[in-house]
Each structure stands twice: as structure tokens, then as C-alpha cells.
Amino acid sequence: MIGLDAKQVRSASLNEVAEVLSARGKDGALSYEQQIALDHAKKFALSDSKYETAKKSMEELKVLQPSTITSVLNVMPKNEPSLRQVLAGAKQPLDDELVGKVFEIVKKASV
């Protein structure tokens, strides 16, 4: 099983997925599923600068876990109800003001 003896477990951004799979794919050794994942990551990943800026802005809020920040930036919800669904995985109550701040960060990153 993949990851059984992993030393660290964390969420990967689409940028990281694209980077890793591109490096592996230089030999042409990607499986069908990996190629689909690479195509998806390239299509939907933010630029590195936008990703880092949005990530730092969300970290400054000091309420979201790193895995939640990665999930939000991978999904890039288009409206607040969609954002609330992504944030539901955070398992912590988030008030309307915080959701609004996170959504503003997402909107800035998507432009």
C-alpha cells in the first residue's frame, strides 16, 4: 500500500503534483492515471506566485490548518457556499467574517 512507511503526511498542492509528475514523466514512465492527474494539475494549478501569496495571506489569519489552506487553493471555490463546503473539512467552527476574508483571498488569487 502506498505511503505505509511515510515519514510525513501532508496535503499536496496542484503545483507540487504537477512538478512531481512532470519530473517522473520525462522518461515517459507515467501510468494512465498519473497522466490524467498531471493534465488536471497543469490545467487548474495557480501560478506559483499567486499560490504563495494566497497561502501566506491565509496563514496570517492563524485559524486554518495547512491542509485546509491547500484544499481551498486546490479547489478555488467560486462562491461562499462552495467555500463553506471545502472548509467543512476543517472541523472547526468558522464565523461569517472569517469565511468572507478567506473568500476575498481566493477571489484575488483567481484573477
| pLDDT tens digits along 23-63 | 988 877 899 999 999 999 999 999 999 999 999 999 999 99
75's grid cell: 479547489
> Within this chain, do residues 30 and 61 fall inside the same structural domain, yes or no?
no
> Within this chain, do residues 37 and 76 fall inside the same structural domain, yes or no?
no
> Within this chain, do residues 103 and 58 fall inside the same structural domain, yes or no?
yes
> Within this chain, do residues 60 and 87 fall inside the same structural domain, yes or no?
yes
Provide the 8-state DSSP code for 7.
S
> Within this chain, do residues 39 and 73 fall inside the same structural domain, yes or no?
no
> Within this chain, do residues 53 and 11 fall inside the same structural domain, yes or no?
no
**What is the sign of the dihedral through the CA atoms of 76, 79, 80 and 85?**
negative
Domain count of the fold of the chain: 2
pLDDT-derived band at 3 (thresholds 50, 70, 90) equals low
Find, among 94, 33, 83, 23, the residue nearest to 61 by Cα: 94
Question: How far is residue 50 from each of residues 3, 46, 55, 104, measured CA to CA in Å?
Answer: 30, 6, 8, 13
Cell 504563495 found at: 52
The confidence score (pLDDT) of residue 78 equals 95
> Within this chain, do residues 61 and 28 fall inside the same structural domain, yes or no?
no
> Within this chain, do residues 54 and 9 fall inside the same structural domain, yes or no?
no
> Within this chain, do residues 84 and 105 fall inside the same structural domain, yes or no?
yes
pLDDT greater than 90 at residue 92: no
Domain of 14, in residue numbers:
1-45
> Within this chain, do residues 31 and 65 fall inside the same structural domain, yes or no?
no
